[in-house]
Chains A and B, each alone.
Chain A
Amino acid sequence: MNRQDMIGTAGGDCPEGLIETLKKLTTLDGVSGDEKPVRDYIIEIIKGRVDSWHVDNMGNLIAFKKGTGAGRKVMLAAHMDEVGLLVTGINDNGLLKFKAVGGIETRVLVGKRVRIGRDRVPGIIGYKPIHLQDASERKSSVKKSALAIDIGAKDREQAEEWVSVGDTVAFDYDPVEFGDRKIMAKALDDRSGCAILTELLKNRYPFDLYGCFTVQEEIGLKGAKAAAYAVAPDLAIVLEGTTCYDLTGTDEHMMSTRLGGGPAVTVMDRSVISDRGLFRFIADTAENGGIPWQIKRTVSGGTDAGRIQVSGSGVKVCTIAVPCRYIHTPVSVMDKSDFFNTLRLAQEVLAGLPEWLEKCGREAGSAPDND
């Protein structure tokens, strides 16, 4: 098999249908711990592309594609879950109290539409009208305790007919293509990674490939731990949607990433220091392939890579991510060219991996490419 065959789509635009797949993925709800709707759709996409797949006890979807060569095991991971809310109580007046599942800033909840539970009951999050706020309320930020979900119920008893404490709550926002190649949607973190992973599973590689669609990333990288334990990979690459705040007035070193600057490769974040050699290999692959790329500048945030790295006797990991503005809001924004270039880079990396792994093997005992 030559490289071109494995890459499948050389140059040009995003593979046909992949943007539609991504958009469809963002319309599904998969708040951490409640990922089934997303998982079911991904199974439909990949079942004809892989040799086998199974869903583990936690809900991780693990797909297997037998390699054509010797038995190296490579794990690719993308998390299916998204940030959302959890109904924690129902007030006498029929309003629902909630807590955030994952990192959602209180400010972005005001004036939003949500849907609750598997029945997707419509709800809204309102706020005290500005006319009725006193001077101190006008001068302060959003009061978390004042927020509640309103489904139109008259009282608690009525609300309980439609929703239950413990229901998950997802944002109700449809994707919009706008501007210069931009897509706005909820849950681009990490449906963008999921979409790319479904595409990568189209091809067969010299090594055994485990495509892991993980759960509960947003509440502490939970699913990846179990998935990595089961797979016990030699190497893992995490496909993510990552923070981007490149708005005017932000210091460059605080921008994390820049929209349109290509896939962001992580040197270090809160959860992990990437394998230096693997990072270098990915960076060189981008340079040699003429694929724009960037280093994720800030060291905040964590990814599944942090859990996979410490699995078993340790796994070489690195993260490749699509920059997303306004991440963890219902209106996150990505650039289609970043999305496509992340796919391209992942394809090139997988194509070059056998050679790199072989080199690592030859140099076993000394860290490869550790310059």
Chain B
Amino acid sequence: MECRELLKKLCSINAVTGNENAAAQAIADILADYCDEVRIDSFYNVIALKKGQGKSPRNIMVTAHYDQIGLIVTGIDENGFLRFTNMGGVDPKVLAAQEVTVHGRKDTHGVIGTKPPHLIPPEDADKPVKMEDMLIDIGYDAEHARQLVSVGDPVSFRFPVIELKNNRMAGRSMDNRSSVAALVEMLKELKRINHDDNVYAVATVQEESGLVGAFMASWNIKPDLAIAIDVCHGDMPDVPSDESFPLGKGAAVAVGPILSREHTRACIRLAKRERIPYQIDAEEKDTGTEAAVYSSALEGIPTILLSIPAKYMHTQVEEVSLDDIDAVARLAARYIAFRDEVIQEGDSHE
């Protein structure tokens, strides 16, 4: 499947963080075409193994979380409207007049209701609407609503993938399905080149609710090297230029205290050598990604973080470039295959 179609397919899967159970098999089916074996662990991490050809293969783990931010039902009122709160970091400002799917007894369409302007007092015009004051309208009375929906049911945003100019795609859950797409593209690339080491491509769970899946994945696989793939902030107006990265300019390679200096430098040298577009993402703290877990997991796993720039993160219109997905996939695959060469080329600064 071509990357464009793959990304659309991945984005159509609903996996609100902590509710990946219904989605795991669909993710496994996609990965299965490009590896030797796939399994789903007890937390619904999807683990694909592509075996290496070396005599004593090491284990490389590459992960991309497949959960998405969403909502959870907290109440059903006397008129059949649903109250809710967030699952993961949801900005209440992006919720007005949005379509949702309530994953109740069956998937149920809903709309997040908004107050018409003439009912908003002028003194409240500049105040944000609180999430607890919003309602989901599923078009049923209370009795019918209670038959379909229970408190605790997850709610996902309903939003198709929009194809923009310059190979860019926008939609909900580009964080982090674009990275899952990169994971698949990486496996495709690894079919074309020889690699000695075993590659565990893992689609992880519950990143948006505290990097949870990453803990189990690192324990289950105990890799010699971890490569985390995630999104970073895309360049847009009114955000700091050192915290955001232009779309279409390549993989963002993170450099910072928690990341393996040796591997990161080697990875950058490889990108130069292979003419894979890249940009440097300086991360002074824990990166907010699964890399933070891997770098201090077990006895400390040497970790690289590769990111795909995404504009408008945690809105329904997260925007990424297919070119950046391709750059991340190729860089990860080639680093897995050729890293010993570039590490040996390393200079004394490391």
Contacts and interface: CB of A to CB of B under 8 A. Distances in A.
Nearest to A327: B116
A257 B120 CA distance: 17
Most chain B CB within 10 A, of A105, A110, A151, A328, is at A110
B312 A141 contact: no
A250 B115 CA distance: 9
A318 to B, nearest CB: 21
B137 A126 contact: no
B314 interface: yes
Interface string B87-129: 0011101101111000000001111011111110000011111
A179 B114 contact: no
A135 interface: no
A245 B115 contact: yes
Given A248-B135, A325-B113, A298 B238 contact: no
B109 A95 contact: no
B192 to A, nearest CB: 29
B91 A152 contact: no
Most chain A CB within 10 A, of B140, B164, B319, is at B164
Contacts of B319: 124, 126, 150, 152
Interface stretch (A35-43, A206-214, A307-315, A329-337): A329-337
Interface string B231-247: 00100111110011000
B97 A108 contact: yes
Given A107-B93, A124-B164, A254-B119, A329 B114 contact: yes
Contacts of B90: 130
A336 to B, nearest CB: 10
A48 B312 CA distance: 49
Contacts of A370: none
A247 B113 contact: yes
A182 B97 CA distance: 16
B333 interface: no
A158 interface: yes
Contact of B239 (A124, A132, A150, A176): A132
B325 to A, nearest CB: 15
A359 interface: no
25 contacts: A107-B93, A108-B97, A110-B94, A111-B312, A112-B97, A112-B317, A113-B160, A113-B317, A122-B162, A125-B317, A128-B238, A131-B288, A132-B240, A132-B243, A141-B93, A150-B311, A152-B165, A173-B99, A178-B109, A179-B109, A181-B139, A184-B111, A245-B119, A247-B135, A325-B111
Interface of B: 77-79, 81, 89-91, 93-94, 96-99, 108-111, 113-119, 125-129, 133, 135, 137-141, 144, 159-160, 162-166, 168, 170, 233, 236-240, 243-244, 248, 288, 311-317, 319
Given A113-B159, A150-B170, A162-B165, 7 more contacts: A105-B116, A130-B91, A132-B243, A172-B162, A247-B137, A326-B97, A331-B98
Interface of A: 91, 93, 95, 103, 105, 107-108, 110-113, 122-133, 138-142, 146, 148, 150-154, 158, 162, 172-173, 176, 178-182, 184, 243, 245-250, 254, 256, 298, 300-301, 325-331, 333
4 interchain residue pairs of minimum CB distance: A179-B139, A152-B164, A126-B312, A182-B139
